[in-house]
Amino acid sequence: MEYIDNIPIYLQIKDMLYRKIISNEYELGSQLPSVRQLAVEVSANSNTVQKALKEMTDENVVIPQRGKGNFVTEDVTIVNKLKNHIVNEMFDATYDKLHSLKMNDNEIIDSFNNYVKQREDTND
């Protein structure tokens, strides 16, 4: 995993794991790899991975089971909320930039629809 060097590693690991959960690479209710396996996978210290998992547990996305390890929540509303949050974060900057071009919401929606259409056409 490539890291941005001035952002805490545990936040970057957390972000990466959240994306894997949202994209269903780690399915609802499934068991996550062990701390050590994750640490090797992302080339980070186990303490750092532990810290990322701790925050994910505090946010109810990860459920630790004593003696068994860590599991993804089975609650789809939590994952949807998480997805919503991450998608919003991606839109934030774009929306602000479009606004600064004096575009109103309808124009922004129209241009986004157009954009998606054009992308679909080029992917055909």
Partner 1 sequence: MTKILEINNLKYKKNSKTILTDINLSLDSGKIIGLLGENGAGKTTLMRLIAGVNVQPSGVITVDSKTKITEIKSSVSFSDNLNGFSGRTKIIDIVHFYENVYPDFSAEKYNEISSYLDLKENDRLSSLSTGTLGKLVIALALSRETKLYLLDEPLSGIDSMSRKKIISSIIRWKSDDSTIIISDHYVTEIASLLDEVVIVKDKTIYEVIEVEKIQEKYHLGVEEYYEKVYEGGLTNE
What residue ranges bind partner 1 (CB under 8 A)? 1, 3, 5-10, 36, 39-40, 42-48
- Concatenate the DSSP letters of all residues of 10-21 into one string: HHHHHHHHHHHH
Nearer Cβ to partner 1 (40/109) = 40
- 3-state DSSP call for residue 58? helix
Least distance between partner 1 and beta carbon 114 (Å): 37
Decide: 14 and 61 in contact? Cβ < 8 Å. Answer: no
Least distance between partner 1 and beta carbon 58 (Å): 17
Least distance between partner 1 and beta carbon 10 (Å): 7
Distance, in Å, from the CA atom of 57 to the CA atom of 42, rounded to the nearest integer, reads 19
Distance, in Å, from the CA atom of 56 to the CA atom of 15, rounded to the nearest integer, reads 10
Nearer Cβ to partner 1 (6/123) = 6
Nearer Cβ to partner 1 (48/73) = 48
Q: Which amino acid is at 123?
A: N
Least distance between partner 1 and beta carbon 52 (Å): 12
